[in-house]
Amino acid sequence: MPDHPASRATYPETATPERPTRYTARDGAIIGHNQGRTFNRPIYLAHTDAFVLAGDQPILRFASGDTLHGTFGVGVVRGKRSEWLHAFSDLTLEYRPTHAAWIARDRAFPGLEIRLEVVGQDRKSIRLNSSH
């Protein structure tokens, strides 16, 4: 194998980034907390041109090729109060290729924690799971 200049580089024992990163990594996943971005995490469906645009907020768009087929959002109603899940005050994203999961909490709904997951399936389908 030829020698590459990067293999000869030396790095300090601990490196401090010049600016903090927006995301962290945990168990092979990208983790974001209250980042506020939408549709910045693609989930590709195997052997097809279809994909889901997920993001830091739990709202999804399904597309194939250059066609957007629709947007999917989840709302919560409790008593006289309602809110879109992507508008909750405390949102954590866990992203892996073909998989995204969110944990959502909001001060307006004390004690409620919702976990929403989307998984790319083969062909043109996705699977949504939720729990609270």
Q: Are 87 and 31 within 8 A, CB to CB?
A: no
Predicted TM-score (pTM) of this structure:
0.78
pLDDT, position 1: 47
pLDDT, position 73: 94
Which two three-digit tokens encode residue 116? Answer: 């929403």
In this structure, what DSSP letter does residue 97 have?
A: T
Domain assignment present for residue 90? The answer is yes
User: Quick one: which of 81, 74, 45, 76 has its CA closest to 58?
Assistant: 74
- C-alpha distances (whole Å) from 100 to each of 12, 42, 46, 82 are 34, 9, 16, 24
Domain assignment present for residue 80? The answer is yes
| Spatial distance between the Cα atoms of 89 and 79, rounded to a whole number of angstroms | 19
| Spatial distance between the Cα atoms of 108 and 3, rounded to a whole number of angstroms | 59
Domain assignment present for residue 6? The answer is no
Q: Which domain holds residue 91?
A: 22-131
| Spatial distance between the Cα atoms of 106 and 75, rounded to a whole number of angstroms | 12
Domain assignment present for residue 78? The answer is yes
Domain assignment present for residue 116? The answer is yes
State how many domains the chain has. 1
Domain assignment present for residue 125? The answer is yes
> pLDDT 10s per residue in the chain (132 long)?
456 555 565 655 665 667 777 899 999 899 999 999 999 999 988 888 888 999 999 999 999 899 999 999 999 999 899 999 999 999 999 998 888 999 999 999 999 999 999 888 765 556 666 666
